[in-house]
């Protein structure tokens, strides 16, 4: 170094960065955030998230202190729709925006948590030669994961059986890691959960979750039995965006909100029973919290059937009762809830089976897979 010359600052090009992508629902974001937090304990690499400009992932990433880059996002559909004509341009715009974000920030690796917003960043990373890891939460992979897996160095799965959905070439890249959940889910306080909603200690708390976007069908079923159920239990209801059907249900044993965030771990801890959709992330959080559940998965005419297959895993394990949305009547749901609340032994067995499904070190496993592909100086 010459005398009188200022020492040169480390070139930002040399910084190790890890890009995350995924979104559309909380189930594509919360597991990724859990991995981000584990990585922060293991490495000083910079982490940023690529997601849609208006999606919930932007808010959730900001709350977790993760730098964010928004891109245009178009939904991938397997069925004919006029919306596909517009969304194909959004996908292309998302690809070009992702390309420039990745060129600018030069991450050493891209981790995809899935959802349609993840496809453009993955394709851009592939073109730029950036290593890619993709993770699937569902029992069977969605379209985004099927596309992303072709570009990935590693395909991380929650269930070992999911490997059969991939070709033999892609199965060689598969690693079974389980599905990460937020650390907060494991530290919920039941007394705090009861306090938040005003539930007396003498009443069982029944928690209803319709997923991060809400479910009109689940809301309709629950609102139909709410008055009768509240005679013997305290009902807590996450209504989501579809919450209008719960209007007009005032009761001192009924508590409803569109969405639970920081409160959810405490409400789960307090719940004797959970009525829920069967999104992958919700199920893994139920497993982590050890909660018996009644699952009402999205029917195939409204989805690709992934929730049905997710729910069957929990039913086969003895952790849940699964109901068909297209066949179940309010009286059927009420009868099952009351039967379970009358049988503490059944609730305990279901809770034990739910806990057995949970992979407690999933975040660690995924973080280690990411670190294995990073340059040594990041570790």
Phi, psi of 200 (to 5 degrees): -65, 150
Cβ atoms 209, 266 nearer than 8 A: no
51 and 28 belong to one structural domain: yes
CA 282/CA 320 separation, integer angstroms: 13
168 and 189 belong to one structural domain: no
Domain count, the chain: 2
CA distances from 315 to 295, 303, 331, 353, 354 (A): 9, 20, 21, 10, 10
pLDDT band at 249 (very low <50, low <70, confident <90, very high): low
95 and 241 belong to one structural domain: no
213 and 119 belong to one structural domain: no
- The token duo for 174 is 């598969």
- The token duo for 19 is 């890009």
53 and 168 belong to one structural domain: yes
**C-alpha neighbours within 13 Å on the C-beta side of residue 299:** 9
Most confident of the ranges 52-61, 87-96, 353-362: 353-362
151 and 191 belong to one structural domain: no
pLDDT band at 8 (very low <50, low <70, confident <90, very high): very low
Residue 299, in any domain of the structure: yes
Reduce the DSSP state of residue 299 to 3 states and report it. coil
346 and 326 belong to one structural domain: yes
pLDDT higher than threshold 70 for residue 3: no
133 and 243 belong to one structural domain: no
CATH number at residue 316: 3.40.50.2000
CA 140/CA 303 separation, integer angstroms: 13
Cβ atoms 180, 157 nearer than 8 A: no
Residue 117, in any domain of the structure: yes
Is the whole model's pTM more than 0.75, yes or no?
A: yes
pLDDT band at 11 (very low <50, low <70, confident <90, very high): very low
16 and 143 belong to one structural domain: yes
Buried b (16+ CB within 10 A) or exposed e, 157-173: bbbeebbebbeeeeeeb
Residue 6, in any domain of the structure: no
189 and 284 belong to one structural domain: yes
pLDDT digits over 184-241, tens only? 999 999 999 999 999 999 999 999 998 666 788 999 999 999 999 999 999 999 998 6
Cβ atoms 373, 154 nearer than 8 A: yes
CA 371/CA 72 separation, integer angstroms: 29
Percent of the chain that is helix, strand, coil (3-state, to 5) = 50, 15, 35
Domain limits at 166?
12-181+360-378
159 and 188 belong to one structural domain: no
Higher pLDDT pick, 91 / 121? 121
Q: Are strands 293-295 and 320-322 parallel, antiparallel or unpaired?
A: parallel
173 and 312 belong to one structural domain: no
Cβ atoms 139, 79 nearer than 8 A: no
């Amino acid at each position: 170094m010459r005398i009188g010359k200022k020492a040169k600052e480390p070139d930002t090009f040399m910084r190790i960065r890890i890009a995350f992508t995924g979104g559309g629902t909380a189930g594509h974001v919360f597991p990724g955030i859990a991995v981000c937090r584990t990585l922060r304990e293991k490495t000083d690499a910079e982490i940023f998230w690529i997601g849609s400009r208006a999606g919930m992932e932007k808010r959730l990433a900001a709350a977790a202190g993760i730098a964010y880059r928004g891109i245009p996002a178009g939904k991938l559909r397997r069925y004919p729709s006029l919306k596909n004509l517009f969304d194909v341009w959004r996908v292309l715009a998302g690809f070009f925006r992702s390309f420039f974000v990745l060129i600018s920030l030069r991450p050493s690796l891209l981790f995809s948590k899935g959802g349609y917003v993840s496809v453009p960043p993955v394709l851009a990373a592939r073109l730029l030669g950036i290593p890619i890891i993709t993770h699937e939460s569902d029992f069977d992979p969605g379209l985004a994961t099927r596309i992303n897996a072709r570009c990935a160095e590693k395909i991380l799965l929650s269930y070992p059986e999911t490997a059969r959905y991939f070709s033999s070439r892609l199965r060689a890249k598969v690693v079974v890691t389980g599905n990460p959940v937020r650390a907060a889910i494991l530290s919920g306080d039941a007394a705090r959960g009861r306090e938040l909603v005003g539930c007396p200690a003498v009443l069982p708390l029944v928690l209803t979750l319709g997923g991060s976007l809400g479910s009109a069908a689940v809301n309709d079923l629950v609102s139909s039995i709410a008055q009768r159920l509240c005679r013997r239990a305290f009902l807590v209801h996450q209504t989501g965006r579809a919450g209008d059907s719960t209007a007009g249900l005032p009761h001192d044993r009924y508590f409803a909100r569109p969405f639970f965030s920081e409160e959810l771990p405490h409400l789960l801890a307090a719940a004797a029973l959970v009525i829920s959709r069967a999104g992958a992330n919700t199920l893994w959080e139920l497993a982590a919290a050890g909660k018996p559940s009644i699952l009402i998965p999205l029917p195939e005419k409204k989805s690709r059937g992934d929730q049905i297959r997710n729910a069957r895993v929990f039913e086969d394990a003895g952790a849940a009762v699964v109901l068909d949305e297209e066949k179940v009547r309010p009286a059927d749901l009420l009868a099952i809830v009351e039967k379970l609340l009358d049988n503490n032994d059944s609730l305990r067995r279901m809770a034990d089976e739910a806990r057995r499904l949970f992979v407690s070190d999933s975040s660690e496993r995924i973080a280690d897979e990411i670190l294995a592909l990073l340059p040594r100086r990041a570790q």
